[in-house]
Amino acid sequence: MENDSKEWNVRRISSMFDQPLVARILAIPLYPSVTVDRHLWRGENKGEYSVKSAYRICVRELIDTSHLRVN
């Protein structure tokens, strides 16, 4: 983003990524009403990262556990 505005720095993004990715980045809307950024981890209700929540996501998303489930 530009330093003092809610706009993408197109020249910088274009110099760092290939064109398909540049198009995807520039398609992300920037909302002027959002004035404060914050880190948010979707793996926890509180939004804070934990190794436990990352492990749960890995197990759920990356490892096929369907054979362990009982109908």
Burial (CB count within 10 angstroms: exposed 0-12, middle 13-18, buried 19+), residue 49: middle
- The three-class DSSP label of residue 20 is helix
Q: Is the pLDDT of residue 18 over 80?
A: yes
What is the residue whose two structure tokens read 């934990």?
50
Return all residues near 24 (Cβ < 8 A) that are at least 6 apart: none
Q: Indicate the domain borders of the chain.
A: 1-32
- What pLDDT digit, counting tens, does each position of 25-66 carry? 999 998 877 777 777 788 888 888 999 988 988 888 887 777
